[in-house]
Structure 1
Amino acid sequence: MKQIKVLIVDDSAFMRKLIKEFLSEDPRIVVLDTARNGQEAIEKTEKLKPDVITMDVEMPILNGIEAVKSIMSIQPVPIIMLSSTTKAGAENTILAMEAGAIDFIAKPSGAISLDLHKVRKILIEKVIASSKANVALKRLKTENRDVTKISRKPIKKNNLDKIILIGTSTGGPRALQEVITKLPADLEAPVVVVQHMPAGFTQSLANRLNALSHVHVKEAEHQETLKKGNVYIAPGGMHMRLNERIGQVFITLDREAPVGGHRPAVNVLFSSAANLTNYQKIAVIMTGMGSDGTNGILDLKENGQTIVITEAEESCIVYGMPKAAALTRKVDEVVHLESMARTIQNYL
């Protein structure tokens, strides 16, 4: 069995030791070395060629964001950020993912977390999953390859109001940036997004996307009414559902039990939208681990007018959720990420 080679980057000797101990407990993982700052991380990445890097965000000499940028330009490798849950920590984590990191873990109690054991299991799981990620993505050269239509019958045009539903997980922040920044300010539909993230990070994601986009992007609020040209991101740690009253669609948020291990869950959003009979739904599944969204697609297709679009394997960081969706045989189009925004707009 080929072991996953990991480089640990953290300015705290205690954190380096703790992370190394946790990862070394799993026989599938071998820790090659550790680094104390971003500059050391770049040098050791070039020399050791790890399969996965765990990277602290805030470090001296060269911080995690700049280190990610350099590593992804020199020698792309899956990078998992370890971040504090402070506002600054969350903002820097979003910037690190924009720079190329594929996932992150929130430290339970700040920069030096004596209780890091609380996330030990998820750290191991993310290292193993990240080792299979596609970080050296190839851009498609030919226009005729960017959309694969796989619908089995024509989709009827209708005059129903539209709602765009997006579900994503690992690699999602970068994918969302690629799609949402290409949507026009006068978009003729609201966009509702579930991105798997813990509490404290979705506000920073919404703020960053809002700063880069023509549409208005915000973290969703309980009882908020949907408006065209607005993007609503489910708050971390809360399920988001859509409901209808007096001809208007509004959001409800709750902390009910995780579904399929996730809260927010794409399945919860999609299944709630299936009950909106006076709207056509455009459901989009992008990069992510697992199969969240699959049951929701089945509900949507069973209960009314729904177009299902999934991200093509060649542009996915992790081809898990889109693959599971494709296995339902309910997908209408498979689209490269670069063409996703245009494809969505084609249905409006």
Structure 2
Amino acid sequence: MGPVWTLSRESGRVTIAVLIVDDSAVVRQVLQQVLAIEKTIEVVGVASDPIFAMRQMGIRWPDVIILDVEMPRMDGITFLKKIMHERPTPVVICSTLTEQGASTTMDALSAGAVSIVTKPKVGLKQFLEDASSDLIQAVKTAARANLGNLVPAAEHLRPQAVRNNTKSMAQTTEHIVAIGTSTGGTQALEAVLTALPDATPGIVIVQHMPAQFTAMFAQRLNELAKIEVREARNGDRILPNQALIAPGGQHMSVVRSGAQYQVQIKDGPLVNRHKPSVDVLFKSVARCAGRNATGFILTGMGDDGARGLKLMRDAGAVTYAQDEASSVVFGMPKEAIAIDAATHVVSLKDVPRRILQIRSC
């Protein structure tokens, strides 16, 4: 389902109608002030919990919902599932940076939320004001999301996900797979990684996601997939039957040490407004692996990764971009296709097969 934008009564311009659901009066107030900066966004309602929200939605259904996950009377996850069942609507989760909050937020993404905006426990007002551009971009991205592609991918695979890690102890790998994604990527990666058997090349992944959430995301995928999935650590070897996910808030690049590939994790400035950045990963893969790598750019807003994928292709790598029909947001793949960075354009469901065509070791 694409965006269903409304017309402002005042000017006739296209606007995005937003409903804010958060039990904190401060958060509700600050979010309203922040979003008021953007003329194409109109806050049409605020609610302290999902019960009040449903009453308002009975009068006017929003285009995008900003939703807290821990609230009285009905938690955000239950409310989200109810929305997705009754009338799928783009939801941006506004969650606190805690381990418990990260776990709940992962549940929300799995249930169909589009993206995450993090809020700290202290200094909340200043944080939200400082992050105004990110909040506005999150709402705009959510409004453009194709919700028909936000489907929980692998719940039916849980009982069969038995992992065999013997091959992941190998001392080298001849080929690596690099994947970059953003909005809609949590569901896309779940669909891809849970479809792979335990005989795959080493995989390195950048998913745009805040710090604190990537470890929980990797743990969730590890429980579902047959291969090993975990958050990358500096110096980790890239091994067959293993997927390493870049930690939020840090860049990940690939370096070569003799016959082995390793990941390098380090801080640095934002690249294309992101950290980790897909371009940082892809450019390093082009530099040190060349034709010994395969690249995939999947669903996401913006252009991060497009230039890096072009460098990979120029270095001899086979490269793929996800097609529009299967993307939640056809931004990053579209930009890669526009500059001829992709050797092939494929549906998400075809990605696992393409990975399995690669000789892993």
Q: What TM-score do the two structures reach when normalised by structure 2?
A: 0.85
Tell me which of 199, 212, 215 is aligned to 1:186: 199
SS at match of 1:82: strand
In 1, Cα distance between equivalents of 2:187 and 2:101: 18
Decide which moves more: 117-126 or 193-202: 117-126
Q: 1:32 to 1:85 in 2, by over 3 A?
A: same
* 1:319 corresponding residue in structure 2: 330
SS at match of 1:214: coil
In 2, Cα distance between equivalents of 1:217 and 1:84: 25
Tell me which of 196, 205, 210 is aligned to 2:208: 196
The answer to whether the Cα contact below 8 Å between 2:21 and 2:50 also exists between their aligned partners in 1 is: yes
The answer to whether the Cα contact below 8 Å between 2:313 and 2:342 also exists between their aligned partners in 1 is: no
- Following superposition, the deviation at residue 27 of structure 1 comes to 1.8
* 2:301 corresponding residue in structure 1: 289
- Following superposition, the deviation at residue 299 of structure 1 comes to 1.4
- Following superposition, the deviation at residue 321 of structure 1 comes to 0.2
- Following superposition, the deviation at residue 186 of structure 1 comes to 2.4
* 1:215 corresponding residue in structure 2: 227
Unaligned 5+ residue runs, structure 2?
1-12, 152-172
Unaligned 5+ residue runs, structure 1?
140-159
In 2, Cα distance between equivalents of 1:217 and 1:46: 42
The answer to whether the Cα contact below 8 Å between 1:185 and 1:229 also exists between their aligned partners in 2 is: yes
- Following superposition, the deviation at residue 95 of structure 1 comes to 1.1
Alignment of 1:245 onto 2:290: no
Alignment of 1:163 onto 2:180: no
Q: 1:278 to 1:326 in 2, by over 3 A?
A: closer
* 2:188 corresponding residue in structure 1: 175
- Following superposition, the deviation at residue 43 of structure 1 comes to 4.5
* 1:271 corresponding residue in structure 2: 283
- Following superposition, the deviation at residue 178 of structure 1 comes to 1.0
In 2, Cα distance between equivalents of 1:10 and 1:284: 37
In 2, Cα distance between equivalents of 1:244 and 1:63: 47
In 1, Cα distance between equivalents of 2:205 and 2:115: 18
- Following superposition, the deviation at residue 38 of structure 1 comes to 2.6
- Following superposition, the deviation at residue 14 of structure 1 comes to 2.3
Decide which moves more: 124-133 or 267-276: 124-133
In 2, Cα distance between equivalents of 1:14 and 1:295: 41
In 1, Cα distance between equivalents of 2:150 and 2:30: 36
- Following superposition, the deviation at residue 195 of structure 1 comes to 0.6
In 1, Cα distance between equivalents of 2:197 and 2:255: 26
- Following superposition, the deviation at residue 7 of structure 1 comes to 0.6
SS at match of 1:274: helix
- Following superposition, the deviation at residue 39 of structure 1 comes to 3.5
Letter in 2 for 1:331: A
In 1, Cα distance between equivalents of 2:73 and 2:198: 40
Give identity over the alignment, percent: 36
- Following superposition, the deviation at residue 173 of structure 1 comes to 0.8
